[in-house]
Amino acid sequence: MRYVAPIFLLMLAACDPQQIADSVGRRAAASVVLPVVQNDMPTPVARKATDCIVSNASAAEVQALARDVGVVAGTLTKANIRTIALRPEAQACFAAAGVPPVR
């Protein structure tokens, strides 16, 4: 039992604060993107599309998207989501995930 604390400290030290912040920001961004995408496709497909969009967003774009947590996404946020979704990388992710391409 007395070895638990040192092991926990080692595990905690292995965590990268930047990686944790990025993960939290991407989850927050996903919570903003999903309702927007759900307007155009059923939820299971929208979840896959959301993953593709968020994973292809830059850190600055993630921060911008995450600012809309808890509110309805505005026109700028919707435009940002569309811009990311139209990128070739996001389109390739959509194709691999079985998501119809954005038009």
- For the stretch 61-98, pLDDT in tens is 999 999 988 888 889 999 999 999 999 999 999 999 99
Distance CA 75, CA 78 (A): 5
pTM to 2 decimals? 0.80
pLDDT of residue 87: 97
**Distance between CA atoms of residues 94 and 72, nearest Å:** 24
Helical ranges in the chain per DSSP H: 4-14, 17-38, 43-55, 59-66, 75-85, 88-97
2-48 pLDDT, tens digit each: 444 454 444 545 566 677 667 788 899 999 999 999 999 999 999 99
d(CA 53, CA 34): 10
